[in-house]
Amino acid sequence: MAERGGRVCVLGSANVDTVVRVGRRPGPGETVRGLGRDRFAGGKGLNQAVAAARMGAVVDFRARVGSDGAADFLAQRLAADGLDLAGVVRTAAPTGTADITVDAAGENTIVFCGGANDEFTELSAADGAAVATADVLLLQGEVPVPVLVEAARLGRTVVLTPAPVRRFPAELLDAVDVLVPNEHEAAELTGERDPAAAALALSTGGRSVLVTVGERGVELAADGRPLGRVPAIPVSSVDTTGAGDTFAGALGALLAEGAELPDAARVAAAAAALSVTRPGADGMPHRHEVTELQAATTIVGG
């Protein structure tokens, strides 16, 4: 893995994902036959850490897991991508889990149980040092809000994925430099159904906003100004699990290198496109794969 100089701290969740593939997702009270069942390392924090590392960033992952076999499984997965485990602290609570159903179109539904993630309520001294020295801090909503607020106050460039959506306090949002919701999260935060309008509404106080809209790309706005849409690269989707985390992790890696926001968004969109062509949240691509996809797309597009 080639390091490109940017340092990214990812503070967030680590889970074991159980993915069940179905022809179609069941309705209320309905039973459907599963087509297969797999286990992956997951959690928005872990996904973003792996995605950023595969894009060449130097990553410091800060998380809480259990003292159980699931935590051992996650440790093996993180080590395989060269991630340092010093910031992954074991607790008495069970490791977090996510149960994911993926249909034939690649769309998913997820049930998340926080477990040890819910124990991450404050920063240790080592966590604080990691946050303060990183070029970019990536945060998500699967750990308690107090630790997000504490970390955001220390971060240099703070990127927040507001998922799952909740009532995020103003003291957190005011410390966020880049907000990365999907179109549904943006609509819930603003009441705006149009992603471009939602991006504009959220881009106050000098904040940049990137609203991901799946196969339609990404809507950008900054400091109350629309920056237009970055188009998605057309691909055949297998599983959308982790696509948003791949986008955020890749975005963080590029911003840590010093890339301008639209350029970072284009690379991140290509990374997310590649991720949906593979099953599970472990489909994040490596940097050379993203570069190859962008080059091939440029050639085809003329």
Two structure tokens written together for 277: 């062509």
Say how far apart CA 276 and CA 215 lie, in whole Å: 10
Mean pLDDT of 131-159: 98
- Answer with the residue of higher pLDDT: 248 or 104: 248
Say how far apart CA 220 and CA 176 lie, in whole Å: 15
Say how far apart CA 44 and CA 249 lie, in whole Å: 10
44-57 confidence digits (pLDDT tens): 999 999 999 999 99
Say how far apart CA 301 and CA 296 lie, in whole Å: 8
201-230 confidence digits (pLDDT tens): 999 989 999 999 988 999 999 999 999 999
Cβ pair 218, 265 in contact under 8 A: yes
Helix (H, G, I), strand (E, B) or coil at 48: helix
Q: Give DSSP secondary structure letters for 201-233.
A: HH--TT-EEEEE-GGG-EEEEETTEEEEEEPPP
Q: Is 245 a catalytic residue?
A: yes
60-100 confidence digits (pLDDT tens): 999 999 999 999 999 999 999 999 999 999 999 999 998 99
Which residue reads 């188009």 in tokens? Answer: 231
Cβ pair 208, 178 in contact under 8 A: yes
Q: Is the pLDDT of residue 2 over 90?
A: no
In this prediction, residue 107 carries a pLDDT of 84
Q: Is the pLDDT of residue 108 over 70?
A: yes
Mean pLDDT of 251-258: 98
Question: Rounded mean pLDDT of the chain?
Answer: 93
In this prediction, residue 290 carries a pLDDT of 93
pTM assigned to the model: 0.91
Catalytic pick from 17, 60, 127, 245?
A: 245
- What are the start-end ranges of the E strands in the chain? 7-11, 15-22, 34-42, 58-65, 88-90, 96-102, 108-113, 136-140, 157-161, 178-179, 208-212, 218-222, 225-230
